[in-house]
Structure 1
Amino acid sequence: METEEQVAKGLTNASVVSKYREAANIVNRALQALVPQCQAGADISTLCSNGDQLIEQGLATVFTSAPIEKGIAIPTCISVNNVCAHYSPLPEESSTLQPGDLIKIELGAHIDGYIANAATSLVVGASAETPITGNKADVVLAAYNAIQAALRLIKPGSSNLEVTEVFNKIAADYQCNVLEGVLSHEIKQHVIDGNHVIIGKESFDQHVEEFKFGANEAYIIDIFISTGEGKPKEAETRTTVFQRALDMTYNLKLKSSRNFLTEVNRRFPTLLFSLRSFADQRNARVGVSECLNHNMLYSFPVITEKPGDLVAQFKVTVLILETGTIVITPLIFNPELCQTEKTVTDEAVKALLATQMATVAVAKPKKAKKNKKKKKAAAQEGESKEEENKAEETKAE
């Protein structure tokens, strides 16, 4: 846990930036490993468990010299076609991927409460030989271009409402709609839903306060675009994703519920988790029920558009540093797989998309060296590692 002084410094503290970056590297590698597994016939619950395992395996290899809280920030969710988000099914309630399914993969990790989340969309079986066409191509490209434009706006002096405006201009060009009710948040240590908010689409009863982005801020940018009306509903599917409500306490009556809450407090004290993560499913289900009855958990139900509609999603984690903006979870998607006659028409938005995305390398904290040989070896190792990271990010984008 950071000291109060370190937290106050935020992204001016090299240790904080390092934790964000390391969590992001783990998320990127997990997502890159999971994407090829999403083939026709693959079981969704198994894929979600694989994603969680990849995150946990990655976390086990970093910051091992001292006790530090590490874990999943959002359990792996794989939502198909008109299902928008939070589909992380139990094994007995799962389904399999089919050729042509449009899927959204979302996952995240944290180190000492510093969060990196990412999401991508893909079509099962798509390739250069079998490209994405029709309304699938339209909705995926709309979401992809929307988040690319947003990333170029997220810098000191720009406003959240500018991002909302460009989201909706691009969606309209592809004859799609931004999903209502979706918010992108500023993030801080252990906080995934900070006060600075970007709304995907304003409506009659959904508005947010305008603000200007500033240096030393971190955000998770989330965009959902639909071929339908963009008005999702809560599905009848079982909710499996939850978060501990830290401001609520209650002496649970059932022993199984108390055991469940003890495990939640130990493994997932502040961020999201899935029922899949508990070995004793009976205790977990009883515990969830009693905790919900006493407002000790927040639930994240599965949400869907109408049957036949298609929804695409992209999510990235962004740090606004004093030296520039960096996307620490770069997009993992190849837009050349999509074929459509629709395109962005607004000249200002086209100019924005044509702008080079400015990113910066984050220097690691310097350590004292005992002698010149060790200093030289460490420098060479650092240069090699930096080149690896740059190559990996370039490949991902």
Structure 2
Amino acid sequence: MAEEAAIDYTLANPDTLTKYKVAAQISQKVLQEVSGWCVDGANIIELCERGDKLLEDEVSKVYKGKKVSKGIGHCTTVSPSSYITPYTPLKSDADEAATTLKAGECVKIQLGAQIDGFCAIVCDNVLIGAGDEITGRQADLILATYYANELLLRLMLPPGLVISGTEEEKKKAAAQKPYTQAKITQLLEKVVQAYDCSLVESTTIWLFERNEIEAKKKIILAPGEGVKGEGLPEVGEVWGVEMGVSLGSGKVKTLSNRTTLHRRTATTYGLKRPTSRAILSEVVKKFGTFPFSLRQLDDEKAAKVGVVECVRGGVLRQYEVVGDKNNDPVARLFTTIAITKNGITRLASPPSPDLSKFKTDKKIADEEILKILEQPVGKTSTKNKNRKKKKKPAKKAEEEEEEESSDEE
């Protein structure tokens, strides 16, 4: 019997991009819903559980009857104002279980869906109890984060990719060297400093691959001591782009909260405890290599015990809860992007804020920054054609899914 041909899981296979887009549509839809639930007094655990339930419901509607793995690619997390990393408390920890949202907080919501191992993660900020006009330091924080994120996406574009003009101008642009990680941090710092803010120390941007959200390449912004990134973006890649901004120094500290967010690693280790083996088996079956919360496991209390050996043996990686060193408010965005020959496609991205609502006397004055921000992230020539071509695969996928749904019914 002839060997089966190896499946191409790169962006060269149109099916890969379609699956990313379907996952992204789900992620963005659930993000919008969870954002609407974030009001003064809302309980964080309840928000996380409702978000996960909605993710599962939406994922179940697509690729019905197909032998395709699918599910939650990043459990729903809701991080209070000074928290930097995704936060998802447990019901069995009484104090944390009572954590609610407070008016005036900048809350970060992060979640994601995955289809066939192609994960689309997204994160956005919600200002709890904000009115129609946002002023002062809240406005500074949101604007600094938004413009820094927009600049970052443009700095990640391989040189000359979306430049229009004469052939000579295109060749000149393509001959330019890509921005180094040090230069990227330097330019981003100019943006946030214009709003009297700071980059969050060691914010890390990862290359995505199938079943992997922390692949071989990474960009580290404002790296801490002894930390450095590796590699730069190229055409044909998918990246998880994170932007973290603080109203304070941007320095971080590990909080005393229990670590509840984990992920399966490639390490193998002979676990001795039956509870540990049971936990690992459940994790592999339910979540594969994607981040999950202990609250998602069948027995939360047993999970708290069994996870200890799993982490010690290196079969699970734990994501410690990290916050701003001086408890200053932090904003964070996360966008999943694809880099194609036509530039950057935002697969799963937070909605653009209504900039007219934010009132501040601060602004970006640096000419180099302003010039880069004016550049597109994708090719804009023959707009209408490109727009139709770009939207067609995702729309086609939706129509196929609807047909599959009706067939199942």
Q: Secondary structure at the match of 2:134?
A: coil
In 1, Cα distance between the equivalents of 2:329 and 2:122?
Answer: 20
| Residue in structure 1 matched with residue 286 of structure 2 by the alignment | 267
Runs (5+) with no aligned partner, structure 2: 160-177, 380-385, 401-409
Residue 327 in structure 1 maps to residue 346 in structure 2: yes
| Residue in structure 2 matched with residue 364 of structure 1 by the alignment | 393
Of 344, 363, 372, which residue of structure 2 is paired with 1:352?
A: 372
Report Cα offsets for 1:100-155 as digits up to 9, x if no partner: 11111111121111111110112101131xx3222222122111111111222332
| Residue in structure 2 matched with residue 189 of structure 1 by the alignment | 210
In 2, Cα distance between the equivalents of 1:224 and 1:354?
Answer: 22
Of 136, 158, 162, which residue of structure 2 is paired with 1:156?
A: 158
Q: 152-161 or 14-23, which moves further after superposition?
A: 152-161
Q: 35-44 or 147-156, which moves further after superposition?
A: 147-156
1:63 and 1:303, CA in 2 relative to 1: closer, same or farther beyond 3 A? same
Residue 145 in structure 1 maps to residue 166 in structure 2: no
- Residue type at the aligned position of 1:56: E
Q: Secondary structure at the match of 2:243?
A: strand
| Residue in structure 1 matched with residue 360 of structure 2 by the alignment | 340
- Residue type at the aligned position of 1:304: G
- Residue type at the aligned position of 1:315: F
Q: Give RMSD over aligned pairs.
A: 2.3
In 1, Cα distance between the equivalents of 2:224 and 2:325?
Answer: 19
| Residue in structure 2 matched with residue 123 of structure 1 by the alignment | 127
Query: Shift of residue 357 of structure 1?
Result: 4.0
Quote the sequence identity (%).
30
Conserved? CA contact 1:120–1:333, under 8 Å? no
Conserved? CA contact 2:271–2:313, under 8 Å? no
Conserved? CA contact 2:343–2:377, under 8 Å? no
Q: Give runs of ≥4 in structure 1 deviating > 6 Å.
A: 383-386
Of 80, 99, 106, which residue of structure 2 is paired with 1:102?
A: 106
- Residue type at the aligned position of 2:116: D
Number of residue pairs matched by the alignment: 364
In 2, Cα distance between the equivalents of 1:150 and 1:71?
Answer: 29
| Residue in structure 2 matched with residue 41 of structure 1 by the alignment | 41
Conserved? CA contact 1:163–1:198, under 8 Å? no
1:260 and 1:294, CA in 2 relative to 1: closer, same or farther beyond 3 A? same
| Residue in structure 2 matched with residue 305 of structure 1 by the alignment | 324
Query: Shift of residue 281 of structure 1?
Result: 1.4
Report Cα offsets for 1:129-182 as digits up to 9, x if no partner: xx3222222122111111111222332233352433332221111111111122
Q: Secondary structure at the match of 1:62?
A: coil
Q: Secondary structure at the match of 1:225?
A: strand
Residue 248 in structure 1 maps to residue 268 in structure 2: yes
Conserved? CA contact 1:259–1:283, under 8 Å? no
| Residue in structure 1 matched with residue 173 of structure 2 by the alignment | none
Conserved? CA contact 2:157–2:377, under 8 Å? no
Query: Shift of residue 248 of structure 1?
Result: 2.3
